[in-house]
Amino acid sequence: MAEINILKTDSRGRVTLPPPFRSEPLFEYVVEGDQITLYPVRTVRKYPDMSDLPEEELPSGLVKQEQKVNKDKRKGISASSPAQALKGIGK
């Protein structure tokens, strides 16, 4: 028989994980009925896999409109704060 462990919430509703999982920074979870299953993960998938979706061709009028709106081709700035981003713009 499998060992059953119960996690109890504190007064603020937070769950304290068992010691082997406390150093894990990210978890993926699956909700199945009343059960939540946690899986430690190393990275976050920012975008879902959409390779199986069909490609849609836009009408030429919409393509021209998108090109007007998205004509800014400047490179992005990596910064940890807005102040650092402003410094990066100035350089």
pLDDT at 91: 64
Task: For residue 27, give the nearest of 7, 12, 10, 11 by alpha carbon.
Answer: 7
Q: What is the pLDDT of residue 1?
A: 53
Confidence (pLDDT) at 47: 72
- Whether residue 54 contacts residue 70, with contact meaning beta carbons closer than 8 Å, is answered with no
Instruction: Tell me the average confidence (pLDDT) per consecutive run of 10 residues in the chain, 91 residues long.
Output: 75 85 84 86 74 85 87 80 85 64
Position 34 scores a pLDDT of 85
User: How many domains is the chain built from?
Assistant: 1
Is residue 59 a part of any domain in this protein?
no
Structural domain harbouring 40: 10-45
Tell me, yes or no, whether 38 lies in a domain. yes
Residue 19 is assigned to a structural domain of this protein: yes
How big is the CA angle at 22 (ends 79 and 5), to the nearest 5 degrees? 145
Q: What is the pLDDT of residue 87?
A: 86
25, two tokens: 């920074």
Do the domain assignments include residue 77? no
Is 56 inside a domain boundary? no
- To 10 degrees, the CA torsion angle through 37, 25, 43, 34? 10
Which among 34, 33, 1, 40 is positioned nearest to 17, based on CA atoms?
40
Residue 88 in any domain: the answer is: no
Asked, for residue 22, whether it belongs to a domain, the answer is: yes
Q: How many residues does the chain have?
A: 91
